[in-house]
């Protein structure tokens, strides 16, 4: 695996740590910004909304740049937003900062995944995507608990300053070790019309909607883990970082496994993953007041939740291509799941208590399974006719992979 793939993961690690830090410091930020827990939860929603709707716009703006140069521009925008968050004197300023960092993060994800796919062989692109996305998982395993500990002992602003330092380190590593790929200026930039042409495929939209429900189901629980574990299960505030480390370890394990299976078994992995996530979310909702079951179900959600990303990305790239705009728009659909989870979760907590987001997550997992039915039926038909189960690898050219009709 090229060294640059791991450097791309470091950049995603920095941005994911910033994205998740609010979930780990909800009580502290609520006190510091004179806001309620649901209002702090809306900061997660704002970050996600900025990713979903602003990320593709920013991606279009950097589309004609070399991808390495685009990454450096995105680092700069993200860094400015994160500094603003560290200095925010009130809730409104923090809201602006979260929007700015969200937009930059989404575009960075899209360009990084595209570049990671471009510099690796087609037969291992699912594994390469998993390595890049390990930045996301490690953000949960190490970044979030680290930021939470820093925030609890030095104040929540110190957590954002720590993320700022991490971002500078990731930018310098990218500058030093990520290459400009051959012919990239002509191919990666491409024409906007050619990039947009990929979205003519109806199947691509359905595949991306699967991602929305899959990630939304997980974030319904993850976004409110801190208050659920402290106020319902009864853990102390100091114990939460340790539980988040365990949750993050589960995501790293799950991501590694899914990454190795995604190249040839993306559809079965998603079916099993969503079914298990549904089971874990229901169990968590029913037994959140009991320490051992609550922890086990929480770890289960970590194991089969966001870890589905390599399989989700593989399906999208095979339904279309592996270029920056497709990856960014797909990331927007993923982020839309976060928006749904957090925007519905806040009012649900006010009306029905802290277990409500877990039930919402279970409902989203059911909807995710429903979106897989057309491909499952197609696969059954193909199996009966003796069709080859293997899907073609993702392509990097300008045209959507219209000839790829096999479900993956």
pLDDT in tens, 138-189: 776 777 778 878 888 888 899 999 999 999 999 999 998 888 765 444 444 4
Residue 123 lies in a domain: yes
Residue 100 lies in a domain: yes
Residue 102 lies in a domain: yes
Residue 186 lies in a domain: no
Higher-confidence residue of 363 and 128: namely 363
Segment 326-334 shows an average pLDDT of 85
Q: Judging by beta carbons within 10 Å of its beta carbon (0-12, 13-18, 19+), is residue 137 exposed, middle or buried?
A: buried
CATH code assigned at 262: 1.20.1250.20
Instruction: Please give the residue range of the domain that contains residue 346.
Output: 3-180+197-384
Residue 292 lies in a domain: yes
Higher-confidence residue of 204 and 20: namely 204
pLDDT at 370: 95
Coil, strand or helix: which one is 317?
A: helix
| Alpha-carbon span 278 to 308, nearest angstrom | 13
Residue 401 lies in a domain: no
Residue 9 lies in a domain: yes
DSSP per residue, 101-117: HHHHHHHHHHHHHHHHH
pLDDT higher than 50, residue 220: yes
Residue 254 lies in a domain: yes
Q: What's the chain's average pLDDT?
A: 83
Paired tokens of 275: 């079914």
Say how many domains are in the chain.
1
pLDDT higher than 80, residue 323: no
């Amino acid at each position: 695996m090229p060294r640059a793939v791991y450097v791309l993961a470091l950049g995603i690690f920095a941005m994911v740590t910033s994205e998740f830090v609010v979930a780990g410091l909800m009580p502290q930020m609520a006190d510091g910004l004179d806001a309620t827990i649901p209002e702090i939860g809306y900061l997660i929603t704002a970050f996600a909304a900025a990713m979903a709707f602003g990320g593709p716009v920013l991606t279009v703006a950097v589309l004609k740049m070399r991808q390495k140069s685009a990454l450096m521009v995105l680092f700069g925008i993200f860094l400015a937003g994160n500094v603003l968050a560290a200095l925010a004197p009130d809730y409104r300023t923090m809201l602006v900062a979260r929007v700015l960092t969200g937009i930059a993060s989404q575009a960075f994800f899209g360009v990084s995944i595209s570049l990671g796919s471009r510099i690796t062989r087609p037969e291992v692109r699912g594994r390469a995507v998993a390595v890049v996305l390990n930045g996301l998982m490690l953000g949960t395993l190490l970044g979030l608990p680290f930021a939470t500990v820093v925030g609890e002992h030095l104040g929540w602003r110190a957590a954002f300053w720590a993320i700022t330092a991490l971002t500078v380190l990731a930018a310098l590593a990218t500058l030093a070790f990520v290459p400009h790929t051959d012919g990239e200026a002509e191919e990666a930039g491409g024409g906007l019309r050619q990039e947009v042409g990929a979205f003519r495929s109806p199947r691509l939209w359905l595949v991306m909607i699967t991602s929305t429900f899959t990630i939304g189901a997980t974030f319904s629980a993850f976004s409110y883990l801190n208050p659920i574990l402290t106020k319902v299960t009864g853990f102390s505030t100091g114990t939460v970082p340790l539980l988040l480390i365990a949750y993050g370890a589960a995501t790293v394990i799950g991501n590694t496994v899914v990454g190795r299976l995604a190249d040839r078994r993306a559809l079965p992995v998603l079916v099993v993953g969503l079914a298990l996530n549904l089971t874990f979310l229901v169990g968590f909702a029913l037994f959140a007041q009991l320490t051992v079951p609550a922890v086990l179900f929480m770890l289960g959600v970590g194991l089969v939740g966001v870890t589905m990303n390599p399989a989700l990305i593989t399906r999208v790239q095979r339904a279309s291509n592996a270029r920056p705009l497709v990856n960014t728009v797909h990331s927007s659909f993923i982020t839309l799941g976060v928006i749904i989870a957090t925007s519905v979760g806040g009012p649900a907590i006010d009306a029905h208590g802290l277990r409500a987001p877990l039930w919402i997550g279970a409902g989203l997992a059911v909807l995710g399974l429903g979106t897989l039915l057309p491909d499952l039926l197609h696969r059954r038909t193909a199996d009966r006719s003796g069709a080859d189960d293997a899907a073609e690898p993702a392509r990097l050219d300008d045209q959507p992979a219209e000839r790829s009709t096999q479900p993956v």
